[in-house]
Structure formats: C-alpha cells, structure tokens
Amino acid sequence: MRILSGIQPSGALHLGNYFGMMRPSIELQNQGDAFYFIADYHSMTSLFDAEERRRNTRDVALDFLACGLDPRRAVFFRQSDVPEVCELTWILGTLTPMGLLERCHSFKDKSAKGIPVNSGLFTYPVLMASDILIYDSNVVPVGQDQKQHVEVTRDIAIKFNEAYGQTFVVPEPRIRGEVAKVPGVDGEKMSKSYGNTIEIFGPEKALRKKIMGIKMDSRAPGDPKPDADQNLAIQLLTVVDGSIGKDYEEKLRAGGLGYGDLKKKLFEVYWDHFAAARDRRAELENNLDYVHQVLSEGAAKARAKAQEVLHRARKACGLE
Ligand code: AQP
C-alpha cells in the first residue's frame, strides 16, 4: 500500500495541519510505503516571497521530522525536486473538465473571502492529482477540506484510464472523523490564510496570548452551559486530548468553570503535548545538514518512481 500526502510551506504549521494530516500520516508510516512531501509548487498560489518560501520549506521539514516523521520508514521530499509532476499536470489538465474545477470549495471559499485568486489556485486540484497519481498512491490521509480534491483526482484517473487504457491507480482519501476540521481561534476552519491559527511551534508568550484571547460569551462562571460541546476552547481541548476535553466539557456544562480557567487548561495541555517535539525540533535546528540530506535522499527515491509512472502515462497517451 502506498500512502501519499503533502503539506504546503505557505506559513507556520498549525494544529489543523498536525491533527488533520501530520499525525495520521506519521501513524500510517508504519503500515505501508509512505511518501510525504513539502508542497512548495502549491505554495506559489498564495505566497509571493522567495525568501519566505525557502524559510517555510525548511521549517516544514523541521516541524514534520520533530513531530515524528521517520525518514527510515517514509520517503520525505520537496515537491519541486520532482519536476516530472508538472509535465503530468499538463497531461491530466487536458482531460479535466472546467466544471469539475469550478465546483471545488477551496477555490470558491478563498475567492468568496476576497483572497486574490490566480489561475494556479484554480488548477491546483490538477497539480494535486498529479502529485498523487505519479507515485501510484493508494491512500491519501487528509483533512476534510481536501476530500473533494482527492475525489477530483479519482475522476481524472478514471477518465485517463478510460481514454488511454489502464494507467493510473485510483486512490482513496483517508479522513479521521474527529479531527476532520479543526477550528481556528475564530471558529472557522483553522487555516494559514485565514490568520486564525494556533501554531504547533512558536514562542510561549505569543501562543499563550493567542489562546487566552479566544472570544467567549458573557455568561457568568457559575451558570450551567448546556451547549458546552459547542464551546471553541472545549472543541480544541478535545482535539488535543479527548479525555481531558470530555472531562472539562462536563465541568463547563455543570457550571462553576470560568472561561479563563478553561483557556488556561487548554494552553497547558497543548503546550505539554508538544514538549518532546519542541526539544527534538531544537536539536534538528542545530543539525540542518541532516535535514537537507533527508530531503535529497527522499527526492532521489521519489523521482525514480515518478519517472517510471510518467513514462507509463506518456506511452499510454501517445507522447512516446
Ligand atoms: N483546520 C484543519 N483541520 C483539519 N485538517 C486540516 N488541514 C489543514 N487545515 C486543517 C490539513 O492539513 C494538510 C495540509 O494542508 P495544506 O497546508 O497543504 O493546505 P490547506 O489545507 O489549504 O491548509 P491551510 O492552513 O488552510 O493552508 P492555506 O491557508 O495556505 O491554504 C491537508 O491534508 C489539510 O486537509
């Protein structure tokens, strides 16, 4: 079983990225042939600063390794180190109906929010299809927001196979229900481009301030809160630690728990959860040669596979 997933270096990684994609991917690295990549081509649809992309790419590598990605088990690489993916994107784009892309929520949501959109963002699902199909991937662990893109990938693979004969593996999304859509500090989907994230790593003071700044309603601490499960701090606490989350949900429902104490608890649980990863990250930061070596070895392995599949696709559609 080949498992494939990617993450954009479009900003600091956050709890949504971690619980929606990174943790499930790290768990799956023991169950198959895992390929995980830093989607730097994708980041070009929203980030236009070269130095920031370089820095973010390095940071994503540090974050993912610190959180437990094991390069002895998973092939870890940078998307742009496999330029074959761009040629396949063109080939797949010729079979992708406009309507399929016009229906994609992620593009529609960003344009509805007034975020400037470009044609790269519009055709992003075709590049994502290429990312997945070029490694013969079977399983794609993603958050709920990416489910539709994996479905688009399936449609494109089926279309290609029908037009040119059996060429691509048709992949399946793998979504963990309880963390499918981690909310941000404003209650919307936590997203780098919405400015509502809680980062996995960062300075303690700033992160504490962010969590303590989550807006609550004006009910008094003593009031029972029958809607405790809808409380944002409870939802985030449950994402980080299900049993503490349930315990605090009951306390809030019964009355007597102040919002300040609840948010303090959320900060502590979150901070402790990443303590070991923070230490590992600090070590890795002092050993960047190792990080570069992991990515270049990963790129060589990924590229060999991509060249094999691209050759198969080029032959199938008459380019060879
Ligand atoms: N809030 C979330 N809840 C659950 N999963 C999430 N993911 C992202 N946000 C949440 C999952 O993280 C993986 C990598 O995401 P990405 O960085 O490649 O792109 P994204 O989904 O577009 O993440 P952002 O933060 O929203 O980035 P921007 O703002 O740059 O577009 C994916 O598997 C995603 O599902």
Residue 183 neighbours by CB under 8 Å, 6+ apart: 189, 190, 232, 235, 236
Assess contact for 139 and 28: CB atoms under 8 A.
Answer: yes
Asked whether residue 100 falls in the same domain as residue 245, the answer is no
Residues classed as catalytic:
110, 189, 192
For 213, the domain range is: 202-273
264 and 119 both lie in a single domain = no
For residue 280, is it within any domain?
A: no
Q: Ligand 1 atom closest to Cα of 42? A: 18
Q: How far is CA 88 from CA 35, 104, 320, in A?
A: 18, 20, 14
Task: Say yes or no: 15 and 119 in one domain.
Answer: yes
Q: Is residue 194 part of a domain?
A: no
Atom index in ligand 1 nearest the CA of residue 43 equals 30
pLDDT for res 144: 86
Q: Are residues 70 and 213 in the same domain?
A: no
Mutate to test the pocket of ligand 1, among 46, 145, 239 (most ligand atoms within 8 A of CB): 145
Same domain, 146 and 264: no
Q: If residue 175 lies in a helix (H) or strand (E), which one and from where to where?
A: none
Ligand 1, atom 12, residue with closest C-alpha:
17
Same domain, 101 and 248: no
Residues 96 and 206 in one domain: no
Q: What CATH code is carried by the domain that includes residue 244?
A: 1.10.240.10
Nearest CA to ligand 1 atom 20: 191
What is the rounded CA–CA span in Å between residue 172 and residue 269? 33
Our count of domains for the chain comes to 2
Task: Flag whether 48 is in a domain.
Answer: yes
147 lies in a domain?
A: yes
Alpha carbons 41 and 8: distance in angstroms, whole number: 8
Q: Is residue 30 part of a domain?
A: yes
Based on the fold, state whether residues 311 and 162 are members of the same structural domain. yes
Do 245 and 300 belong to one domain? no
Ligand 1 centre and the CA of 206: distance in Å? 22
Ligand 1 binding pocket, CB closer than 6 Å: 7-8, 10, 16-17, 20-21, 39, 46, 142-143, 145-146, 179, 181-182, 189-193
Residue 189 lies in a domain: no
Instruction: Assess whether 245 and 135 both reside in one domain.
Output: no
CATH of the domain at 146: 3.40.50.620
pLDDT tens digits for the chain (320 residues)? 999 999 999 999 999 999 999 999 999 999 999 999 999 999 999 899 999 999 999 999 999 999 999 999 999 999 999 999 999 999 999 999 999 999 998 888 888 888 888 999 999 999 999 999 999 999 998 888 889 999 999 999 999 999 999 999 999 999 887 778 899 999 999 998 789 999 999 999 999 999 999 999 999 999 999 999 999 999 999 999 999 999 999 999 999 999 999 999 999 999 999 999 999 999 999 999 999 999 999 999 999 999 999 999 999 999 99
Same domain, 33 and 177: yes
190 occurs within a structural domain: no
Ligand 1 mean position, distance from CA 143 (Å): 7
How far is Cα 176 from Cα 178, in angstroms, rounded to an integer?
6
Is residue 76 situated within a structural domain? yes
Return the residue whose CA atom lies nearest to atom 8 of ligand 1: 17
Q: What single string gives the DSSP state of each residue in 106-131?
A: HHHHHHHTT----HHHHHHHHHHHHH
Cβ contacts of 183-192, under 8 Å, gap ≥ 24: 183/232, 183/235, 183/236, 184/14, 184/16, 185/210, 185/211, 185/213, 185/214, 185/232, 186/215, 187/232, 189/16, 189/145, 190/14, 190/15, 190/16, 191/16, 192/8, 192/10, 192/11, 192/12, 192/14
Gyration radius of the chain's alpha carbons: 21
Q: Are residues 250 and 210 in the same domain?
A: yes
